Structures are given as C-alpha cells and as structure tokens.
Amino acid sequence: MSTPSSTPQPPSSNAWGAFNGTRRSGRTADLLSLDDFEAAARRVLPRPIFGYVAGAAEDNQALDDNRQAFREIALVPRVLRNVAERDQGVTLFGQRYVSPFGIAPMGIAALSAYRGDIVLARAAAAAGIPAVQSGSSLIRLEEVMAAAPGTWFQAYLPGTPERIDALLWRVIAAGVQTLVVTVDIPVAGNRENNIRAGFSTPLRPSLRLAWDGLVRPRWLAGTLLRTLARHGMPHFENSFAERGAPILSSRVQRDFAARDHFDWSHIAHIRRQWRGPLVVKGILSPQDAALARQHGVDGIIVSNHGGRQLDGAVAPLRVLPAIVEQAGSGMTVMLDGGIRRGTDVIKALALGAQAVFVGRPFNYAAAVDGEAGVTAAIDLLRAEVDRNLAMLGATTCAALGPEHLMDRRAR
Ligand SMILES: Cc1cc2nc3c(=O)[nH]c(=O)nc-3n(C[C@H](O)[C@H](O)[C@H](O)COP(=O)(O)O)c2cc1C
C-alpha cells in the first residue's frame, strides 16, 4: 500500500452528513448505499457483462443466504461510553489499513470499467484499504503493481508444479507482497445465468452481443472502444506466467488447466516458495481452516465465492465463529460474501473476522464512475462503519465482540 502504514486518515465522510444535508457531487451523488450502485451499473453495462457480475450459481441459494445470515443477527449497542475518538483501522500482516474492509478479487474487471483493475487498485490505495487483483484479469499484474504497489494478487493455480512456479516467480518479480490463492474452483460453478445473459469467456461474437454493446453507448465508447484503441484486444494476462486467451474470440478455448487435482500438497509447495503473507481464499469448513494453519498459511478468507460456485454452500458468516476457533491466534481470518452495509462489516468483526472484503458493489462503482465511483463507495461504507461504531459504543474494531450481537431468532 503506497499510503500510510502508520498514520491512518480519519474517515472522509461526516456521520451527520445525512442530517445536515451534506451532498456529494458527480455521477454518484444520488447513490447513498452500496446497493444503489447495482441499479446504476445495470444502466451502464451491457447485459452480458452486468449478468456476469451480478450472477451466482444455479438457484442463488448461496447468494441469498449470504445476505440472510447477516439479517439474522441483531446488534446490541452500549451507551454513554465516550466514543468521540474513533479509529476503524486494522492491521493485517503488519500493514495498517484505514478501514476494516477491502476490495475482493474480481475477474474481467477491465470490461466493467476502462482499466478496471487499475481503477479498483488505485482507489483502494488512495483510501488506505487493501485491494486484491484477480488472476482472471485482463491487465498485466505488473501494470497494476506499478500503479498501486501494495495491491494483493490472487492466483488460480495452473495445472503443473512447473507452471505454478513460473507464475510464482512472475508474481514475486512484480513486487507482490501478499498472495491469495483461491481454492474453491476445482471445477467451474454452474452459472447457467451467464448463458441466459449471453456471457461466456471468451465472449463469442454474435449479432446479439453487438446489439448488447450498441445499446450501451457510454460503455461502448468509454470502456470497450477506448480499450481496443489504446491497448488492443484484452487477453487473460495473469492466469499463468504467460499470456492467456483473448476476451473476444469465436474459436479460442480458455485453458482451465485441470484444477480438480489440487490438494494440500500444492499449498505446501507454494508455502515453500512464497516468503510473504500467504492467504487461502474459499475456506468454509473449520477442518480446512485447521489444515491451512498446519500448512503455515498466514491468513484465510472465509468465502463461498459470493455464491458463484457451489449453490447451497453455507454462508461464510454462519461458519465464521467455528473457523476463528480453529484458526487460533497465528492465522488472520477474513471473510467475504454479502457485505453491503457498515453493520455487516461490524457483525463479521464482532464474530471474530479481522477484516472483510466486498466484491460486486465496488465493481458496479467502477462501472458507474471509474476511480471516483469506487472512492465514493469506499467513503459510504467507511462512514457507515464509523457511525455504527459510535452507536454501538465502540471506538475501535478490536472492541467489537459477541456482547454486541444477538441471534434475532432467539427468544
Ligand atoms: C464479477 C466477479 C468476479 C469474480 N472473480 C473472482 C476471481 O477471479 N477470483 C476469486 O477468487 N474470486 C472471484 N470472485 C469472488 C469475489 O472475490 C468474492 O468472493 C465475492 O464477490 C464476495 O461476494 P460479494 O460480491 O457478495 O461481496 C468474483 C466475484 C465477482 C462478483
């Protein structure tokens, strides 16, 4: 992170803003919550791209339960505790961040916004929060690291030890400090909604696809044509050490390189090569959390991939306490999936997460207004966390705990 490691900035938004009529300006002025960005992005993005971002697997059971799990928890505030000095910062792997949330890795972000990965990484760096670049991205990780040096990198493991090593060397050479390995894709999730929305990777040229683009002229000119003119046809740049398939092609098949044979020996192999913080993303079982700890992993992201992989997979929040117990004190536990409000952030932290990640809303924010949009979304969530800390009677994230929570269904 190029921004402060020891001097966090105060939240840029004022908790009384809505009361005293403070208004933001620009394209996102009317977007007052993270959910508002979804409708705005739907108006900007072509149907297949919006469908890819918004979609989940099969019947959306995992997607819906990610939100439901938060709704089932009520908050129990404490009062009269002098909360004038609030600091929502957290320390992850020795690095101080200004807020306890970051931007989750999202593939193909450069189709949501012009230079999307750089937009997300730069906005995060400027705001002092972590961002994770996806391994399924269309901009070379070296470029993203140059633009926002503290960005974390998420890898999907290529099929053989030689290809894993080649990718690791590239990641090390690019100056990445924190490596996230996503492990919940042994096979592709069943995203039938992608087919319905006309999305595939690569995208297949068709009249329908052309029409979908033509009816979104701002995206067509500002994202697609601008990208083609300045950078040529985007390719998957970071799945392997070498360049992957183009994003648009009638014939090319993407190389998913048989991910179904991976096991913990591959994590052990990576652990031997990778000296920096190693994070495993996609853990839902306490037993797997214990295995991660035994393999010397530094952190885990409790995640069901935003409901995009195994439909019906348990919501991360539901398994968080048992996973925190298994993780012990040596491993950093983070969570993603369904975080849309400051209160969601607070609930996850009170259940033992040290930080959380947010996916889709930041992708929508990039689509709506590029870096300024992502900054606006970060500011909104940051202001919510700040306000909620105060109303709960807490001045730091560390002060949050089970005493602030109650199961809404309990009598
Ligand atoms: C459009 C999109 C692309 C994604 N691509 C990746 C990816 O390349 N690697 C990965 O580990 N997770 C990926 N994810 C999952 C996110 O990192 C994260 O787990 C999820 O979005 C969190 O849920 P939320 O969107 O409800 O916040 C993707 C999610 C979305 C929405």
Asked if 135 and 155 count as a contact pair (C-beta separation under 8 A), the reply is yes
Query: Could you read off the pLDDT of 55-84 as tens digits, one per residue?
Result: 999 999 999 999 999 999 999 999 999 999
- The pocket around ligand 1, CB under 6 angstroms, is made up of 52-53, 66, 104-107, 134-136, 154, 182, 281, 303, 305-306, 308, 336-339, 358-360, 363
Helix (H) or strand (E) holding 334: strand 332-336
* Domain boundaries of the chain, sorted by first residue: 18-72+96-193+254-385
Residue nearest to atom 20 of ligand 1 (CA): 306
Question: Is 305 one of the catalytic residues?
Answer: yes
CATH topology of domain 18-72+96-193+254-385: TIM Barrel (3.20.20)
* Closest by Cα among 281, 274, 245, 285 to 359: 281
Find the 283 Cα to ligand 1 centroid distance in Å. 14
Task: For the beta carbon of residue 210, count every other beta carbon within 10 angstroms.
Answer: 12
Residue 112 CA: nearest ligand 1 atom is: 1
Burial 280-313 (b: 16+ CB within 10 A, else e): bbbbbebebbbbbbebebbbbbbbbbbbbbbbeb
Digit-by-digit pLDDT tens for the chain (411 residues) are 344 444 445 554 566 776 777 667 889 999 999 999 999 999 999 999 999 999 999 999 999 999 999 999 999 999 999 999 999 999 999 999 999 999 999 999 999 999 999 999 999 999 999 999 999 999 999 999 999 999 999 999 887 889 999 999 999 999 999 999 999 999 999 999 999 999 999 999 999 999 999 999 999 999 999 999 999 999 999 999 999 999 999 988 888 767 888 999 999 999 999 999 999 999 999 999 999 999 999 999 999 999 999 999 999 999 999 999 999 999 999 999 999 999 999 999 999 999 999 999 999 999 999 999 999 999 999 999 999 999 999 999 999 999 999 999 886
Q: Is the peptide bond before 316 cis (omega within 30 degrees of 0)?
A: no
Residue 53 CA: nearest ligand 1 atom is: 1
Task: For the beta carbon of residue 24, count every other beta carbon within 10 angstroms.
Answer: 16
Q: At what angle do helices 316-327 and 342-350 cross, to 10 degrees?
A: 40
> What is this structure's pTM?
0.97
| DSSP-based three-state secondary structure for 126 | helix
Which residue is it, tokens 């990039």? 366
263 is written with which tokens?
A: 């096991």
Which residue is it, tokens 């409901």? 307
